[in-house]
Amino acid sequence: MNSTFNNLGDEKKDTILNAAIEEFSRHSYKSASTNRIVKNAGIGKGMLFYYFKSKKNLYLYLVDIAFNDFMENLVDFLDKSEKDLFNRIFQWNIYKIKMFIKEPQKFNFLMKISAEESPEVKNEIKRKYSLMSEKAYELLLKNIDLSNFRKDIDTEKAVNIIFWFFDSYVNKTINKLREGIHDIGHFENDTLKEFNEYLEILSRLMTDA
């Protein structure tokens, strides 16, 4: 990326980046159009390529921003003093839902990144996504007390099962919000209640507490 881009005013930078994120959140890397990006950003195509050199550089720059923002906000959101795994997972999943509510476009872009199959960027995306996932997983389990898990089950596998289940549950909730099946009030009441009920069931099955 040309350093000139970083010297632009925040408003101009945000306009360009938001136009790019909108395009890549709606389309695959291959189908995304730099023509639509520059039109929505109100700049010439030559300027876009002056700043980023290529569509690939622009895309990977956006990926880095999205991943960094995701991790920084997660660090701020989590209660690091919480040592109960189930409460920490609750925080993690509420964070994802609230991120979708607050910044749906950026959230949709993150979801598309993880499923991107274009050979031009696939390997680089896989590497970046793997690094972010490792950092997120490490953060989520930091200072967690797993001593109350039943001794007759594999703790690591139990933790994975819990994460997989709630990833699936939260993704379904987000899809319902996206499609207008749930409104925010429904999420705050019935969905959170149901979420806690599932947490309690899994806690009873997997721990001695």
Answer whether residue 138 is part of any domain.
yes
- pLDDT greater than 60 at residue 182: no
User: What band does 36 get if pLDDT is binned at 50, 70 and 90?
Assistant: very high
Q: Which residues pair with 149 in a beta bridge?
A: 207
What are the phi and psi torsion angles at 207 (to 5°)? -120, 165
- pLDDT greater than 90 at residue 46: yes
Answer whether residue 25 is part of any domain.
no
Question: What's the domain range around 190?
Answer: 59-206
pLDDT tens string 82-96: 998 888 888 888 888
Average predicted confidence (pLDDT) for the chain: 88
CATH of the domain at 95: 1.10.357
Which helix (H) or strand (E) covers residue 37, if one does? helix 34-41
Number of domains in the chain: 1
User: What band does 192 get if pLDDT is binned at 50, 70 and 90?
Assistant: confident
Answer whether residue 192 is part of any domain.
yes
Region 26-41 average pLDDT:
95
Supply the pTM of this predicted model: 0.85
What's 149's DSSP letter?
B
| CA dist., res. 43 & res. 80, Å (int) | 43
Answer whether residue 164 is part of any domain.
yes
Answer whether residue 21 is part of any domain.
no
Answer whether residue 32 is part of any domain.
no
| Residue 203 confidence (pLDDT) | 85
- pLDDT greater than 60 at residue 149: yes
| Nearest C-alpha neighbor of 48 from the set 17, 7, 10 | 17
| CA dist., res. 16 & res. 1, Å (int) | 14
| CA dist., res. 120 & res. 30, Å (int) | 9
Answer whether residue 16 is part of any domain.
no
Answer whether residue 178 is part of any domain.
yes
What b/e sequence results for 53-68 when a residue is b if at least 16 CB atoms lie within 10 Å of its CB, and e otherwise?
eebeebbbbbbeebbe
| Residue 179 confidence (pLDDT) | 76
